[in-house]
């Protein structure tokens, strides 16, 4: 916490002044500390949707929405996407610095040795209906990890916290792949420790016992880049859900399951599925004006999926890398003239040239192009959000670890602006 501040903000209520400390972060706007406001002035602040509220202090990720900048521990996402890889970014997010070669090898080794699931967990998958959405399976199975790994649920023990962190990063691809295999009616494919993280995931998703599966290094690199681009994103809805859940002292598996549930929504992680479905529904470039008109129509609930962001009022820097990746993957797979990519490119162009989107600063977000790559790889739309969830697990865990390690940790307990009935007497049934 930025203590020793010299700045204050003055708040006047009914002629009485209150001085509130103001903190200057290392980057971003100043923050007014209102923690003692209720005790001193007897008022709450009102900010549904947290549009002006910092819920914590953090050293992990920084976003400058105006510039379209995303930094992990200070390193820009485009450099990490180009020069680094997912597990190195995981290390950076979890421990604060880029690893040495020996540290990275040790970390990769630890993750690789935890990729298998307790065999009894396979019964859990089999208990779901075959047509279950893989996110429904993930919410349940990740929560159930706490029933299988009792030796890493005591959050007061740093060693257990560390083991839980490694377990979740390691097992999430296995869980997501199993959810996929189950809905396909194919046998589960067990992880292989000689493969890198992304290749192992692709193999668990696409291999079958009947024939060998060769991981295409181009697809593996693209997969790794998708993981990297989704690894963390500051205090978004699912991360805030994980933090709020863990503020009560709940075990880490339960908290990450809560994050997965939140991520599922179409305004958040579910947008990648919704976006590809929208691009496919549009189908051809000539129908774009109709959909742009619908997105602008106040009486139509339709929104351009993959467009707009609470924080970015400029290009989402992840979208730029994702667009380039989509071009590369389709090109290298020899998929020419992909109609969905054509629609995406023309839709992006049409929206960016339209004053409605320009005035509201609505730009493509990370989900606008990711679905095109995932579809080209062979994933159905229902797997898009599980892939986001497995990528974001490290972000949730890094933020959780940071929070648990904070000596000022308090249970999260927002207040409200109550607009309901005041005290009234119970009315007996015969008098209603
Ligand atoms: N299409 C059309 N209009 C939009 C869109 C869109 N995609 N997004 C926002 N707007 C308009 C709203 O109608 C609103 O207009 P108004 O001021 O005239 O009422 C204005 O822009 C501001 O929108 P809000 O919903 O108030 O902005 P907020 O910050 O709450 O929402 C959100 C951000 C949820 C991402 C929104 O832009 C959206 O629904 N986008 C589509 C879903 C999507 O792609 N989500 C993925 C987000 S990124 C992620 O989670 C990885």
Nearest in space to 32 (alpha carbons), one of 24, 41, 40: 24
400 vs 375, which has greater pLDDT? 400
User: 1 or 373: which carries more pLDDT confidence?
Assistant: 373
**How many Cα atoms are found within 13 Å in the side-chain-facing hemisphere of 388?**
28
In degrees and rounded to multiples of 5, residue 211 shows phi and psi of -155, 155
Q: Is residue 4 very low, low, confident or very high in pLDDT (cuts 50, 70, 90)?
A: low
Among 196, 224, 232, 367, the one annotated catalytic: 367
Phi then psi for residue 74, to 5 deg, are: 95, -15
CA-to-CA separations, 210 to 186, 194, 397, in angstroms, rounded: 11, 20, 37
When pLDDT is cut at 50, 70 and 90, the band that residue 52 belongs to is very high
Burial label, 213 (beta-carbon count in 10 A; 0-12, 13-18, 19+): middle
- Give the span between the Cα atoms of 53 and 105, in whole angstroms: 39
> For residue 76, what are the β-bridge partners?
71
**Candidates 241, 308, 368: which one to mutate for ligand 1, based on the most atoms within 8 Å of Cβ?**
308
Distances (CA, A) of 348 to 222, 308, 362, 369: 22, 12, 10, 10
Q: Count CA within 13 A, CB hemisphere, residue 153.
A: 15
Mean pLDDT of 232-260: 97
Q: 232: Cβ below 6 Å to ligand 1?
A: no
Residues 75-95, mean pLDDT to the nearest whole number: 97
Which tens digit of pLDDT belongs to each residue from 318-347?
998 998 888 888 888 887 778 888 898 899
Q: Would you tell me how many other CB atoms lie within 10 Å of the CB of residue 3?
A: 6
User: pLDDT, tens digit, for every residue of 15-32?
Assistant: 999 999 999 999 999 999
Count of CB atoms within 10 A of residue 411's CB? 9
- What pLDDT, on the 0 to 100 scale, is given for residue 335? 78
CA of 335 relative to ligand 1 center, distance in Å: 32
Does the pTM surpass 0.75? The reply is: yes
| pLDDT score for 3 | 57
Percent of the chain with pLDDT over 90: 82
Query: Which of 71-75, 221-225, 243-247, 324-328 shows the lowest mean pLDDT across its residues?
Result: 324-328
Question: If you write DSSP's letter for every residue of 62-75 in order, what string do you get?
Answer: EEETTTTEEEETTE
Q: Count of CB atoms within 10 A of residue 426's CB?
A: 5
More confident residue, 372 or 204: 204
- pLDDT tens readout for residues 143-199: 999 999 998 888 889 999 999 999 999 999 999 999 999 999 999 999 999 999 999
Instruction: Specify whether 309 is catalytic.
Output: yes
Measure CA of the first residue to CA of the last residue in the chain; give whole Å: 54
Is pLDDT above 60 for 2?
A: no
85 is catalytic: no
Q: Is the pLDDT of residue 1 over 70?
A: no
Q: What is the mean pLDDT of the chain?
A: 94
The answer, yes or no, to whether any atom of ligand 1 lies below 6 A from the CB of 344, is: no
Region 229-236 average pLDDT: 97
Residue 401 has pLDDT above 90, yes or no: yes
**Which residues lie below 8 Å from residue 114, measured CB to CB, with a gap of 6+?**
166, 167, 170, 171
Q: Which of 18-22, 215-219, 223-227 has the lowest mean pLDDT?
A: 215-219
Within 130-270, where are the H helices? 134-148, 158-184, 197-206, 217-229, 237-246, 252-263
Whether ligand 1 lies within 6 angstroms of the CB of 295 is answered as yes
């Amino acid at each position: 916490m930025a203590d020793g501040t010299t700045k204050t903000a003055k708040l006047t209520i009914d002629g009485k002044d209150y001085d509130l400390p103001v903190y200057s972060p290392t980057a971003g706007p100043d923050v007014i500390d209102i923690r003692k406001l209720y005790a001193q002035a007897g008022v709450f602040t009102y900010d549904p949707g947290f549009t002006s509220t910092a819920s914590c202090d953090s050293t992990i990720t920084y976003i400058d929405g105006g510039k379209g900048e995303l930094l992990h521990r200070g390193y820009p996402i485009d450099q990490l996407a180009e020069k680094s890889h997912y597990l190195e970014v995981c290390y950076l997010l979890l421990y604060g610095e880029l690893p040495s070669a020996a540290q990275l090898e040790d970390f990769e080794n630890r993750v690789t040795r935890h990729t298998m699931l307790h065999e009894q967990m396979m019964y859990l998958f089999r208990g779901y209906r075959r047509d279950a959405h893989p996110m429904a399976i993930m919410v349940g199975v990740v929560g159930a990890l706490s029933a299988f790994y009792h030796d890493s649920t005591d959050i007061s023990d740093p060693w257990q916290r560390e083991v839980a962190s490694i377990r979740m990063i390691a097992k999430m691809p296995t869980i997501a792949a199993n959810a996929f295999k189950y809905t396909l009616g194919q046998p589960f494919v067990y992880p292989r420790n000689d493969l890198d993280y992304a290749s192992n995931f692709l193999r668990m998703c696409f291999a079958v016992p009947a024939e060998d599966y060769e991981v295409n290094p181009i697809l593996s690199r693209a997969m790794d880049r998708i993981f990297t681009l989704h690894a963390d994103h500051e205090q978004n809805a699912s991360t805030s859900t994980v933090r709020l859940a863990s503020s009560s002292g709940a075990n880490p598996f339960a908290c990450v399951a809560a994050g997965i549930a939140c991520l599922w929504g179409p305004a958040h992680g579910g947008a990648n599925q919704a976006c590809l479905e929208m691009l496919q529904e549009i189908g051809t470039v000539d129908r774009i004006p109709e959909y742009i008109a619908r997105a602008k129509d106040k009486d139509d609930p339709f929104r351009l999926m993959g467009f707009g962001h609470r924080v970015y009022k400029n290009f989402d820097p992840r979208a730029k890398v994702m667009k380039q990746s989509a071009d590369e993957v389709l090109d290298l797979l020899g998929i020419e003239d992909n109609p969905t990519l054509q629609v995406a490119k023309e839709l992006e162009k049409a929206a960016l040239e339209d004053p409605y989107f320009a005035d509201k600063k609505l730009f493509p977000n990370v989900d606008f192009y990711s679905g095109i790559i995932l579809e080209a790889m062979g994933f159905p739309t229902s797997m898009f959000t599980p892939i986001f969830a497995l990528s974001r697990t490290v972000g949730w865990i890094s933020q959780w670890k940071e929070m648990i390690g904070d000596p000022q940790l308090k249970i999260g307990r927002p207040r409200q602006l109550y607009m309901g009935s005041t005290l009234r007497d119970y009315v007996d049934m015969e008098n209603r």
